[in-house]
Amino acid sequence: MRIAIVGVFLALLVLLAVGLTLNPREVPSPLVGKPAPAFQLPRLGSAERFSPADMRGKVWLLNVWASWCVTCRDEHPVLVDFARTKRAPLVGLNYKDQSDDALKWLSRFGDPYQFSVVDADGRIGIDYGVYGVPETYLIDRAGVIRFKQIGPVTPELLKGKILPMIAELER
Amino acid sequence: MKNIAVALAMLLATFGALAREATPLADDPQVEARLIAIAEELRCLVCQNESLIASRAGLAMDLKNQARELIKAGKSDAEIRDYMVQRYGDFVLYRPPLKSSTLLLWIGPFALLIVGFAAVWIFVRRRRTLPAAALSSQDEARADALLGTRADDSGR
């Protein structure tokens, strides 16, 4: 009887301990393994338009950001460093932002993006299942989403996950 | 004169109400009723303890507007739910479908209930088969003194 009680207690302890290490804000995206939703959006600060189809044949990153997003500023230096290595094209999706503010933000902190596209009303964000900025998508040559990061890209994540995945997808 | 002033004041008061900005797209009560029915069953991703209909988070407002548009475009409730699930996964549903990843969620509470009943049953059975504790003569005397049974008996 006593052993059973101790057993139940330990099982509960393990269950709660595992629960504590999980992040409830990280909702697994159903879009991983699916083609990146198509869109056509104007580039930030230019009249040119961009569509994910333009990136066919390339492994690339789509980073959702906004000038109002506080965490994006923490993430920003990591992206700037990544862009310097020219390892893969990095496209920004400027989400529910004012273009003036976005351009000011980039000139102030540096622009790691090949270019950013403007999703002023957040509609494309919805198609991509965006619910917390920043978010980053790794898209392969065929235009399939291979990985999604919710929250900031950290140097550890870049080194441990994103760079190895890029290498694998480019093989 | 006074009546006219009152009437004028009341008329002026209505202007404030008229000047209020209309809520975007919330003009059709039928659409709104369907939206409420659907969005009550959907979870807001930003404030995860709120339903989509209760939440006033930016994304929740966007998703509700999107749902309104889909309703107006003649989509069925199931199609609108699918639209959300395609983008945000089963997590948005308060009643997720039964599949391998949600099995524990559906069966877990019942499994726990059965374990609880089993534990009670075993406990009660053990209790029943336990031999009745014998009282020493000293304890019996104390119990009698406290209950006052002997005293009553002797007084008769």
**B60-94 pLDDT per residue, tens:** 999 999 999 999 999 999 999 999 999 999 889 99
Q: How far apart are CA B69 and CA B46, in angstroms?
A: 21
Domain count, chain A: 1
pLDDT at B15 over 80: no
Global confidence as pTM: 0.76
Parallel/antiparallel/unpaired status of strands A90-95 and A49-50: unpaired
In a domain, A8, yes or no: no
Note whether A126 and A96 are within 8 A (CB): no
Q: How far apart are CA B83 and CA B62, in angstroms?
A: 14
Mean pLDDT of B108-129: 91
Mean pLDDT of B148-153: 61
Question: In which domain, by residue range, is A66 found?
Answer: 32-170
Minimum-distance CB partner of B66 among A24, A126, A132: A126
Residue B127 — pLDDT band, cuts 50, 70, 90? confident
Q: What percent of chain B has pLDDT over 70?
A: 84
- Could you give the ipTM of this predicted complex? 0.82
Residue in chain A closest to B45 (alpha carbons) equals: A131
Q: How far apart are CA A51 and CA A115, in angstroms?
A: 12
Name every chain A residue with its beta carbon within 8 A of the beta carbon of B91.
27-28
* Average pLDDT across chain A, whole number: 93
Question: What was the pLDDT predicted at B155?
Answer: 47
Name every chain A residue with its beta carbon within 8 A of the beta carbon of B88.
27, 29-30, 129, 131
Task: Kindly state the tokens that stand for A151.
Answer: 């929250």
Q: How far apart are CA B150 and CA A115, in angstroms?
A: 99
pLDDT at B11 over 90: no
pLDDT at B103 over 50: yes
A39 touching chain B per CB within 8 A: no
In a domain, A103, yes or no: yes
Question: What was the pLDDT predicted at A23?
Answer: 80
Annotated domain spans of chain B: 26-97, 98-131
pLDDT at B20 over 70: no
- Distance from the B9 Cα atom to the nearest Cα atom in chain A, whole angstroms: 41
Question: What was the pLDDT predicted at A75?
Answer: 96
Q: In this complex, do B48 and A24 lie within 8 Å of one another by their Cβ atoms?
A: yes
Element (H, E) at A90: strand A90-95
For domain B26-97, the CATH architecture is Orthogonal Bundle (1.10)
Give the CATH number, domain containing residue A41. Answer: 3.40.30.10
In a domain, A89, yes or no: yes
- Distance from the B88 Cα atom to the nearest Cα atom in chain A, whole angstroms: 5
> What backbone torsions phi and psi does residue B30 show, to the nearest 5 degrees?
-70, -45
Question: What was the pLDDT predicted at B116?
Answer: 92
pLDDT at A60 over 60: yes
In a domain, A94, yes or no: yes
Q: In this complex, do A30 and B86 lie within 8 Å of one another by their Cβ atoms?
A: yes
In a domain, A43, yes or no: yes
Note whether A51 and A37 are within 8 A (CB): no
For residue A133, the tally of other CB atoms under 10 A from its CB is 26
Top pLDDT among B2 and B99 is at: B99
Mean pLDDT of B33-59: 90
